[in-house]
Chain A
Amino acid sequence: MNSTNPLELRAPIGQSKKVSRWKKELTIPKILATILLILATLFFIFPFYWVVSGAFKLQTVATTIPRNGFRLSRLCKTGPSYLRIPLSAGCLIVSSLLFVKWQRFVSFLPVLDMCLPKSLFLAEGLFLRCLLPQWHCLSKLFLSRCLRCLQILVGSIRIKGLFYRRLAGHLESS
């Protein structure tokens, strides 16, 4: 019969693993729910933005698409170079959020993103341009961000490797 002292089973004082409340409460459903909530909020606010911004414009300007000063049009004209900034920032935020949850799998991704941003974006852009020539630059970049998020979600180095091997193959062939 094993006689263990119950006091020995207790973790030594000062060595108990501390998990912050924020980290403990951050779950994938909560992140998704928050993202959906923000998207719904934007969807509901948009008509009011449109009303208010249209109220200060002439009829001809208000009924023109893209509206004068509408940032998306500027982004579209200048191409992916402008888009990299907000999209990569978004990617970094998502990566950071997921990093808290799955440190083991995704810890290398922010490092990778910081070390090789330009080349990765250019490579992805070229890859998608070859794969989907008819798609608009915005949709291609959106897809590339989705792919990146998918990689992070799956958390598999294998998929990442396969993706970049394919990418390298396409780059070499093109």
Chain B
Amino acid sequence: MGTTVRKIKGYVIRDWMMSYLFLVPAFGFFLLFVAYPMVKGVYISFFDYSLRDFSFIGLDNYISLIKDDNFRKSMGNTLLLVLITVPIVIIFSLFISMNIYKKKEFARSFFRGVFYLPAVSSVVSITVVWGWIYHPNYGILNYLTSFLGMEPISWLGDTRTALLAIIVVLITTSVGQPIILYVASIGNIPTSYIEAAEIDRATPWQIFRKILWPMLMPTNLYIIVITTINTFQCFALIQLLTSGGPVYSTSTVMYGVYEQAFMLGHFGYASAMGVILAIVIGIISIIQFKYFGSDVEY
């Protein structure tokens, strides 16, 4: 295998060298703004880093985290959020995509637009509206439930309903991208497979289970991983709707990181929380890659 050699101002430059030269700017930015903060975050997590001092304490931050009830509660809430949100997002997106992909172009665009609206809108404005909807005194939800004879509920102020209310908002903001991807993926599946199955009298469920679902596996993997990571990193909704309350019932690890770092000034402790969150996300992503990462070719 030969390599092309160029001469620029007397210097011999091979093709592979040119490739790396083109990569340098992007790689530089990656090192500066992604890799360095990550390494620095891990480094800080071994220090008692606050506004007053900066001293090495080894694994004390991690040990304190394990003993911290609030952190355990936050981690539980985060996992619950992921366990409920991700399957609902996948099922809902698939349901909508299966319904709209056969429709005419105008209808398809309309539905895609409607479901993608929350994703392209400002999270703050959407969250403020949902705050109004959930408001105990002038919220539309309580107004509607009053027709069923229900008493007004403080949806975001009650420990039993607050997380559920957050999950609903999170789902509405999360389904836009999966729907777009699913519609595109389903549209790319050759119709000859489906037609052949229909000739063999396969039921719609069999067609979905044996043809569509396996062929959607690469898209599924991407959507599951991305939705899981986004849900783990859910912060703005919680900050704007409940600020982690009531009684830490909606506090997540991401909100905990913010609270420890920017409200209490415990940067080392917050970094340790971030490191643990990254490890959990990494483990879950590996599991997801293992179970959903099989490509199917017919």
Q: Using a CB–CB distance below 8 Å, which chain A residues touch chain B? A: 29, 33-34, 36-37, 40-41, 43-45, 47-48, 50-51, 54, 63-66, 76, 134-136, 138-139
Contacts and interface: CB of A to CB of B under 8 A. Distances in A.
Contact of A50 (B92, B132, B172): B132
Pairs of residues from A and B, 10 with the lowest C-beta to C-beta distance, nearest first? A65-B138, A47-B129, A138-B147, A136-B147, A65-B143, A37-B99, A139-B147, A139-B148, A63-B138, A50-B129
A37 B149 contact: no
Contacts of A41: 111, 114-115
B96 interface: yes
B126 interface: yes
B122 to A, nearest CB: 10
A104 to B, nearest CB: 25
Nearest to A140: B147
A37 B147 contact: no
A8 B256 CA distance: 81
B117 interface: yes
Chain B residues touching A, range: 20 to 34
Given A36-B95, A139-B148, A64 B133 contact: no
A41 to B, nearest CB: 5
A51 B125 contact: yes
Main secondary structure, interface of B, reads helix
B294 interface: no
A37 B111 contact: yes
Contact of B114 (A44, A54, A65): A44
Contacts of A138: 147
B39 to A, nearest CB: 40
B118 interface: yes
Interface in B79-118: 92, 95-96, 99-100, 111, 114-115, 117-118
A136 B149 contact: yes
B140 A50 contact: yes
A136 B115 contact: no
A119 B92 CA distance: 42
A33 B99 CA distance: 7
A33 B102 CA distance: 13
Given A65-B138, A136-B146, A44 B132 contact: no
A47 B142 CA distance: 15
A29 B149 CA distance: 32
Contacts of A139: 147-149
B55 to A, nearest CB: 48
A76 B143 CA distance: 11
B218 interface: no
A36 B126 CA distance: 23
B125 A37 contact: no
A135 B149 contact: yes
B255 interface: no
A131 to B, nearest CB: 14
A136 B148 CA distance: 6
A134 B77 CA distance: 37
A65 B99 contact: no
27 contacts: A36-B95, A37-B96, A41-B111, A43-B172, A44-B114, A45-B117, A47-B126, A47-B129, A47-B130, A47-B133, A47-B172, A48-B121, A50-B132, A50-B133, A51-B125, A51-B129, A54-B129, A54-B132, A63-B135, A65-B142, A134-B149, A136-B146, A136-B147, A136-B149, A139-B147, A139-B148, A139-B149
